[in-house]
Amino acid sequence: MKSIAIYPGTFDPFTNGHLDIVKRAAAIFDKVVVAVLINGAKKPIFSVEERVSQLKECLKPFANVEVESFDGLLADYMTKRNINVAIRGLRAVSDLEYEFQIAHTNRMLKKDMETVFLMPSAKYTYLTSTIVREVYSHGGRIKDMLPENVERELIRVYGG
């Protein structure tokens, strides 16, 4: 039986920390679906289509990883795709309470769902999409925070 997991997120922008989690998940599971959330409550830098395209480009080296987008509840999407394992990254203890709430809520919605928490490399424990946006908006250096193609797109869209 093939092991399949989903790694959901807004990924706006997709960081090297996200990439590190994908690498780890791809080494554990036969297939990993990176699912870009369409979240109307957030004001993204990139459109869903742009994020999917960026992720497809930087995840090409992983034959067992696919990228798509979804809208609505993760539990519903996982049921539709017949996937029972969700991947979540934990950077620090501060992430734990929120992620546990989400994991337990998802399990209430989808009884057979499991959440696997993966820690990124220590050098990415501080890195969030919010921090990248903040640093970039003030002219700070983002070179080691994003995959090259995502950094290029950020500079193309918003100037260097």
Q: Where are the domains of the chain?
A: 4-158
Instruction: Decide if 143 contacts 13 (C-beta within 8 A).
Output: no
Active site residue 143: no
Active site residue 91: yes
Pull the structure tokens for residue 41: 């409550």
pLDDT of residue 118: 96
* 3-state class (DSSP) for residue 115: strand
Active site residue 141: no
What does the alpha-carbon distance between residue 102 and residue 96 come to, in Å, rounded to a whole number?
10
pLDDT by residue for the chain (160 residues), tens digit each? 689 999 999 999 999 999 999 999 999 999 999 999 997 777 888 999 999 999 999 999 999 999 999 999 999 999 999 999 999 999 887 788 999 999 999 999 999 999 999 999 999 999 999 999 999 989 888 989 999 999 999 988 877 6
Task: Catalytic residue, from 18, 51, 88, 110: name it.
Answer: 18
User: pTM of the predicted model, to two decimals?
Assistant: 0.94
pLDDT of residue 80: 96
What does the alpha-carbon distance between residue 10 and residue 34 come to, in Å, rounded to a whole number?
10
pLDDT of residue 151: 94
How far the first Cα of the chain sits from its last, in Å, is 48
Instruction: Decide if 8 contacts 72 (C-beta within 8 A).
Output: no
Task: Catalytic residue, from 3, 42, 60, 104: name it.
Answer: 42
Give strand pairing partners of 5.
Answer: 32, 85
Fold entry, domain 4-158: Rossmann fold (3.40.50)
Active site residue 18: yes
